[in-house]
Amino acid sequence: MTAISERQQRGYIGAIAAEARVNVELETEGMTLNIGPQHPATHGTLRIIAKLDGEQVVSAEPVMGYMHRGYEKLVEVRTFPQVTTLINRIDWLGNFANEVPFILAAEQLMEIEAPARAQYIRTIFFELSRQANLMLFLGDMGVQLGAITAVFYAFRDREHVLNLMESVTGGRFHPNFDRIGGLKDDLPKGWVEECKGAMVKVRRFCDEIEELLMGNEIFETRTRGIGVIPAEVALGYGLSGANLRASGVDWDLRRDNDYPLAWKDADFKVWTHPDGDSFARYWVRLQEVRESTKIVDQLIENIPAGPIMAKVPRIIKVPAGEAWVSTENPLGEMGYYVVSKGDLGPFRVKIRTASFNNISIVPWVMRGVYVPDVITILASLYFILGDIDR
Amino acid sequence: MTFALELSYWQSTILRIVGVLVAVLIPAGTLVYVFLFKMMSHMQSRLGPMEAGPHGSLQLMAEVGKFLQKEDIVPTKADRTLFTLAPYLVVGTVLLVYLAVPFGPDAYFADLDTGVFYLLAVSSVSVIGVLVAGWASANKYSLMGGLRAAGQLIAYELPMVLAVVGVVIQAGSLNLQHIVSVQAHGEIFGWGGIGNPFILTQIVGFGIFLLATQAELTQTPFDMPIAESELVAGYMTEYSGMRFLLFFIGEFASAGAFAAVAATLFLGGWWLPGFGFDNNAMNIVGPLVMVGKMMFVAFLIFWFRFTYPRFREDQLQTLAWKYLIPLSLVNIMATAVLKVVF
């Protein structure tokens, strides 16, 4: 063992001391950056308190509730058929999909079931609202990364889907079409052909956006390896939907649950991605839109004939009881826990929305990332403000 | 009888400055603005401005009118002097760039012997305006935007200068008028039909120059200083009314200015094949040719802008220091060797 001479030792200590002095001199004060409530990237009023060291995030904390509209309380003073008007507005892009689980829960309590034709049309509209929702995400992700052209294409092609919904329900954003025991109206003449054409256009949009945005090298360098969420963490935070599937968890309520809806008659693949990063989340959603068009194509071929409304009393009174129904909405698992005391309206409704849980992983996933990556991760987690705060 | 107007130095200087103002605000402002707005609208499959004037051609006037009516807000904690100064600094430097660009055999504002040097020096002053704006706004987003802009400029000034050095070596002059003349009189393998625009021999330099221009103009994919999804509007966040308009005009006018520089250095400037170099008609035709070439380069700049996502700050630095600068150095070496050989 070589002994260190005293001179060497002094030199060594001196070097350490100099380094410490430099570190103290270069140490910068942390900065607190308030991202939101008014900020373009939060597309709504989400606030994220980010503590920064330079451009690096030390800690980030989401503050929710700026858009709380009290829907759970409001539905208590409404009758069952009136509730769909409100819950349409929870996830305003996946409009029709919000109505379905609530109506299913009410039907479960009343022990009635809608006729097969109604179930098919419900499923088709469920998938259409999924497409309308996720197509906007596919474009919006580009905007958050600086490629503003993609979103215009998304808005343009989403119009095909919205036109389909409008021609049946009369509403582009808030169809309010689902009824306890069936649907408001049947499909108009010629709609089936129109729908097939629109599905081709949606698939073309997917191909286009895949080449334009996802195939772009800058897009890949900005998203690959950014905001990695391992499967166990994703499960721990209660993530659902594409965020969970992008972490490699094969979990889709459409396939795993037993609904009266028509998914069981369609043959579709549940896409997962092993990476769990922002790119994986984008990729999974892109595949989901494609898969969704295939579901619509299959179902629309085999819509059974028959009535669209079951026999329901004129004044709907739901028997006392409790029911929980959740479905695989565009953003993830959305469920309603409905408690009825046998009145015209529900006694209590608990709404489980996907975005609330999806956004709760923000403090975990954003430690140590750079400010631009905060935006990438937020965009790829994909939340709708109405779905967080309801 | 000859009518000789004797002007003192300051009188001619003022006349020239007014000339530059007119030259910038009318062609570079309106034309570039309208062309680019319509172009990007159609690129994004939408119509763009349609209401103001025929096909929206007077949109710039409408926007000037709008911004003039807006309240001019200065944040309480802002550094008032610097905050007011910054937009003028940015627009002013853009005008200074136009000063040295020749538009015809006699249609120029100043024929500088060190024109290229002057252009590169002046064009980098505008970032000081940006940095000042970012600092003086007393806003965290503005500060981050300003600092990002400064880092970006330092990184991309180098490849830009190095890309231009290739042209200078080949032309053997720093004078812009002389560079145009060399391109006009050049020959491609003994055929002088279209002269020898340097884009042919300096294609690498042209590519690097365009990329660096994109970064200097803070256009996507290098628009981190104003990244609207991260920093709201970067250094412009706190600006409103007339001052915001100045930044806005500065953005488009400087796109035009860099396009003019690129057109002069690489695309043959104002010279049009088939016209004599000293033809007097070129004083009329030259500016039109120049504007056409400018539009072409501006089209490229904005095409990139509306196609690509943006880089992250560290990725941008990597691109500049690891790829562009070595590549431009190799380009200079190759140009120098070939210049000696041929």
CA atoms within 13 A on the CB side of B313: 25
User: Is B310 touching A (CB cutoff 8 A)?
Assistant: yes
Instruction: Report the pLDDT value the prediction gives residue A200, as an integer from 0 to 100.
Output: 92
pLDDT digit string, tens, across residues A134-152 = 988 888 888 888 888 888 8
Contact of A360 with A375, CB cutoff 8 Å: no
Note whether B229 contacts A147, CB cutoff 8 Å: no
Contact of A176 with A84, CB cutoff 8 Å: yes
Q: Which residue has the higher pLDDT, A305 or B218?
A: A305
In the predicted model, is pLDDT for residue B93 greater than 70?
A: yes
Reference A50, options A31, A28, A67; nearest CA is A31
Note whether B307 contacts A144, CB cutoff 8 Å: no
CA distance A138 to A345: 38
Tell me the two tokens of residue A30: 């942390």
Residue A208 pairs in a beta bridge with none
pLDDT digit string, tens, across residues A332-385 = 888 899 998 888 888 889 988 888 888 888 888 888 888 888 888 888 888 888
- Which of A284-288, B198-202, B247-251 is predicted most confidently? A284-288
Tell me the two tokens of residue B269: 């400037």
Query: Which secondary structure element, helix H or strand E, spans residue A322, and what is its range?
Result: strand A321-329
CA distance A366 to B299: 38
Contact of A316 with A79, CB cutoff 8 Å: yes
Reference B60, options B283, B234, B256; nearest CA is B256
In the predicted model, is pLDDT for residue B61 greater than 80?
A: no
Instruction: Report the pLDDT value the prediction gives residue A22, as an integer from 0 to 100.
Output: 62
Dihedral sign (CA A189, A195, A196, A201):
positive
Contact of B54 with B217, CB cutoff 8 Å: no
What is the longest distance spanned by two Cα atoms in chain B? 67
pTM (2 d.p.):
0.80
CA distance B73 to B242: 10
In the predicted model, is pLDDT for residue B24 greater than 60?
A: no
User: Is B238 touching A (CB cutoff 8 A)?
Assistant: no
Dihedral sign (CA B199, B200, B203, B205):
negative
pLDDT digit string, tens, across residues B41-50 = 888 888 877 8
User: Is B224 touching A (CB cutoff 8 A)?
Assistant: yes
Strands A348-352 and A321-329: unpaired
Of A149, A222, A374, the CB nearest to B307: A149
In the predicted model, is pLDDT for residue B269 greater than 80?
A: no
User: Is B71 touching A (CB cutoff 8 A)?
Assistant: no
Contact of B95 with B25, CB cutoff 8 Å: no
Percent of chain A with pLDDT over 90: 5
In the predicted model, is pLDDT for residue B193 greater than 70?
A: no
Contact of A144 with B229, CB cutoff 8 Å: yes
CATH architecture of the domain formed by A70-377:
Orthogonal Bundle (1.10)
Instruction: Report the pLDDT value the prediction gives residue A337, as an integer from 0 to 100.
Output: 92
Please tell me whether the interface predicted TM-score (ipTM) of this complex is above 0.90: no
Q: Which residues of chain A have pLDDT under 50?
A: 1
Residue ranges per structural domain of chain B: 9-341
Local confidence band at B276 (pLDDT 50, 70, 90 cut-offs): low
Local confidence band at B184 (pLDDT 50, 70, 90 cut-offs): confident
What is the longest distance spanned by two Cα atoms in chain A? 99
Instruction: Report the pLDDT value the prediction gives residue B27, as an integer from 0 to 100.
Output: 58
pLDDT (mean) for B174-197: 75
Contact of A140 with A383, CB cutoff 8 Å: no
Query: Residue A293 to residues A157, A360, B165: CA-CA distances in angstroms?
Result: 13, 30, 55
Contact of B180 with B222, CB cutoff 8 Å: no
* Chain B residue at shortest CA distance from A157: B45
Tell me the two tokens of residue B300: 């490229």
CA distance B127 to B140: 18
pLDDT (mean) for B100-110: 75
Place of tokens 């109506």: A103
Instruction: Report the pLDDT value the prediction gives residue A1, as an integer from 0 to 100.
Output: 44
Lowest mean pLDDT among B66-80, B136-150, B183-197: B183-197
Of A152, A218, A370, the CB nearest to B308: A218
Average pLDDT, chain A: 85
In the predicted model, is pLDDT for residue B215 greater than 50?
A: yes
